[in-house]
Structure formats: C-alpha cells, structure tokens
Amino acid sequence: MQIYESAEDYLEAILMIQKKKGVVHSVDIANEKNFSKASVSVAMKKLRENGYISMEKDGAIKLLEPGLEIATKIYERHELLTDMFMALGVSPETAAEDACKVEHDLSIETFEAIKNYVLKQRKVN
C-alpha cells in the first residue's frame, strides 16, 4: 500500500509529540503543524481506517505497528538530514525545514549512503 507524504508527516508528528508529551491528541497535531482541527480530524480518520493509528475514548492517539514503523523511518531521516545540513553550516531552523522537504523523496539507497557518511563523520570528529 502506498502512503502519501502528508500521511508520513502526520505519523511523524504523532511520534514527535509522543516523545515530548507522552500522550497525543488531535489538537496537539493541529498546533504542531499549524493545521486546522478539521483537517487533522479528517487525516486521523483516514489513518485510523488504514490501520496506522488507533484512538482511545479520551481522544488519545496511538501509533499502531504499521504507523510506528513509518513514523520511525521518517523521523530517523529527518534527524539525520537535519544534523547533516547543520554540519554543512545551515542554521538549525533552515536545516529542519529543508530536512522536511527532502526526507520523503530520497531513495533507500541514497539515504543509506548519507547515513553511512554521517555516521563515519561522527566517528572521525
């Protein structure tokens, strides 16, 4: 099943908020992404229908295994690319924004090559 960039962004946002706050609600995602609550509600419905998340009775959003797998992959890409861009002298804000733009479109081969390069550089420094 193909997952779209917007769905990957939502799953990554859920993971990031979960790491910060522990519990994630739709309003947290709306605030984090600067999206309307209605847009987030529609997206959460689609993610739930596709088996990526579950919603508790209190509105708490939980990543299911397929959603967690995707979110973790995208989050790893985001973190690594942000680090690489900052190492090149890019400001943290711009590095994070650019990482968001790039993280979805890299092939596995290219990402693995970048990852290996960054990890080697960390060992050297």
Residue-wise pLDDT for 32-80, tens only, equals 999 999 999 999 999 999 999 999 999 999 999 999 999 999 999 999 9
> What share of the chain in percent tops pLDDT 90?
82
DSSP assignment of 24-42 equals: --HHHHHHHHT--HHHHHH
Q: Are residues 65 and 80 in the same domain?
A: no
In this structure, what CATH number is given to the domain that contains residue 110? 1.10.60.10
- HSE on the CB side for 121, CA within 13 Å? 12
| Average pLDDT of span 2-13 | 88
41, 43, 116 from 27: Cα distances, Å: 9, 13, 37
The total number of structural domains that make up the chain: 2
Ramachandran assignment for 22, one of left (phi > 0), alpha (psi -120 to 50 degrees), beta (any other): left
Q: Are residues 52 and 99 in the same domain?
A: no
Q: How confident is residue 2, by pLDDT bands cut at 50, 70 and 90? A: low
Q: How confident is residue 121, by pLDDT bands cut at 50, 70 and 90? A: confident
Beta bridge partners of 63: 53
Residue type, 81: L
